[in-house]
Amino acid sequence: MKTAYLDCSTGISGDMCLGAIIDAGVPIKALSAGLRRLPVKGYRLETRKVKRASLAATKVDVILQRSSQPKKWKDIETIIRGSSLSDKIRERGLRIFQRLFEAEGKVHGEAYHEAHLHELGAVDCIVDIFGTLIGLEVLGIDRVYSSAVNLGSGVVMTEHGRLPVPAPATAEILKGVPVYSSGIPFELATPTGSAILREVAEDFTNMPLMKIKQTGYGAGKKDITGVSNTLRIIVGEQALQEGPGAVPGVTVLETAIDDMNPQLYEYVMERLFDAGALDVYLSQVIMKKGRPGIVMTILCNEDRRTDIERIIFTETTSIGVRYYVASRTVLERSSKEVGTKFGKIRFKVSQMPDGTVKRSPEYEDCKKAAKEYDVPLIRVMREMNRIKK
């Protein structure tokens, strides 16, 4: 998987997204060619190298050549649906704009299809949003993760007067996203940047385990003293171990529980497997004050961690979860079905680096056969062990 990590330590905006994408290596010609697939005219892109607190970054400006712009949902929707972009990019763009209009509508007490993009230029937004989506595709990004978002502080001037930072629409869009303010007295996260982030980011977390291939820095409008006002994108591939059987790291979650009815564990484990857990197991431990307890350990891919945590918190008495990324090595494996006196039963087949093959019968197949033929399960297992030899 090719992964991108967005470092939003000084916020995020539409032009910062576009700048970071270009700075990471997306050719401006490729970006412009993609944008021409939208029926939007009357603008040009300007890119230049700037410094933000001595850090080199790319600044992108959308220079408008017309003053009149579409402002309502139906106008934007018509433009997007009339494009020749891929279905994936078109639908993602529609979701981003709908999120923007829904936020604007909610804070102004209107239905989203009646709301206006009060502070936003529609053409600017279209270019920033679709330029980012096109750029991610050009880079070949499969997954995007993000840091928590620095919102800034203070006030921002709008058509409606002075409003607090984060702007109401930004706060609405970023519901459920980890955010903070480091006290920088400017608006760092904008509605457009926040809406893009909500669509493209799979999770808000620390940087995942990966090998860095390239980086890019998109400059914000202000050069803030002592702060690099940039959006950083880090592009890489999930880090692999060296040697045979190497696979991407696996996320390990653990929680210790000493106050839950043990009857619940079976149901919780079923929910976790349904949510994508690779493995779940329980270990008996002695906890504080001599209480017997259980440590529940779950293995999963990083993109399933948020769903796994949600199940732990809602289905158990746990109030905290530890997690970390672990390296692992697995054998090449396959499944082979063989005919037996008890019907067809699958074997798990795995191969060692030296060519040695290990086989083991699928337990669920053996159990099903024992019931169907009304014989002891142990007899079926013995027959399978005889076959595998």
Which whole number is the average pLDDT over 273-291? 93
Under 8 Å CB-to-CB from 250, ≥6 apart: which residues?
A: 278, 299, 300, 301, 325, 326, 328
Per-residue pLDDT for 16 more than 70?
Answer: yes
Same domain, 52 and 186: yes
Domain presence at residue 180: yes
Same domain, 29 and 85: yes
Cross-strand bridge partners of residue 347: 336, 361
Task: Find where tokens 């209480």 sit.
Answer: 291
Same domain, 17 and 61: yes
Q: What is the pLDDT of residues 32-75, one digit of tens each?
A: 999 999 998 889 999 999 999 989 999 999 998 766 666 788 88
Cross-strand bridge partners of residue 253: 298, 323
Predicted confidence at residue 185, as pLDDT, reads 94
Contact 231, 218 (CB under 8 A): yes
* CB neighbour burial string for 349-360, b if at least 16 within 10 angstroms, e if fewer: beeeeeeeeeee
Domain presence at residue 290: yes
Task: Name the residue range of residue 364's domain.
Answer: 332-388
Please state the φ and ψ torsions of residue 251, each to the nearest 5 degrees.
-85, 130
Domain presence at residue 208: yes
Q: What is the pLDDT of residues 126-160, one digit of tens each?
A: 999 999 999 999 999 988 999 999 999 998 877 66
Domain-terminating residue out of 310, 326, 342: 326
Per-residue pLDDT for 348 more than 90?
Answer: no
Same domain, 265 and 321: yes
Domain presence at residue 20: yes
Cross-strand bridge partners of residue 237: 2, 211
Under 8 Å CB-to-CB from 316, ≥6 apart: which residues?
A: 255, 257, 260, 264, 268, 296
Predicted confidence at residue 324, as pLDDT, reads 84
Predicted confidence at residue 208, as pLDDT, reads 82
Domain presence at residue 243: no
Predicted confidence at residue 162, as pLDDT, reads 85
- The token pair at 34 is 């993609």
- The token pair at 377 is 């399960």
Domain-terminating residue out of 311, 326, 341: 326
Question: What mean pLDDT is reported for the chain?
Answer: 89
Domain presence at residue 288: yes
Predicted confidence at residue 1, as pLDDT, reads 75
Top pLDDT among 229 and 345 is at 229
Same domain, 125 and 208: yes
| Distance set, CA 246 to CA 207, 239, 300, 332, 376 (Å) | 20, 10, 16, 10, 39
Which whole number is the average pLDDT over 191-204? 94
Which whole number is the average pLDDT over 189-208? 92
Same domain, 371 and 308: no
Same domain, 285 and 373: no
Q: Count of domains in the chain?
A: 3
Same domain, 209 and 358: no
Domain-terminating residue out of 326, 341, 374: 326
pLDDT band at residue 120 under the 50/70/90 scheme: low
Domain presence at residue 14: yes
Same domain, 62 and 140: yes
Predicted confidence at residue 241, as pLDDT, reads 45
Same domain, 278 and 259: yes
Predicted confidence at residue 240, as pLDDT, reads 46
pLDDT band at residue 325 under the 50/70/90 scheme: confident
Per-residue pLDDT for 367 more than 50?
Answer: yes
Q: What is the pLDDT of residues 151-189, one digit of tens each?
A: 999 988 776 678 899 999 999 999 989 999 999 999 999
User: Which CATH number does the domain housing residue 272 bear?
Assistant: 3.30.70.1380
Per-residue pLDDT for 389 more than 70?
Answer: no
Same domain, 371 and 354: yes
Contact 189, 9 (CB under 8 A): no
Same domain, 36 and 108: yes
Domain presence at residue 245: no
- The token pair at 196 is 């893009």
% of the chain surpassing 70 pLDDT: 93
| Distance set, CA 307 to CA 155, 215, 297, 300, 313 (Å) | 35, 29, 15, 10, 10
Predicted confidence at residue 248, as pLDDT, reads 60
What is 34-71 written as a DSSP string? HHTTSS--SEEEEEEEEEETTEEEEEEEEEES-S----
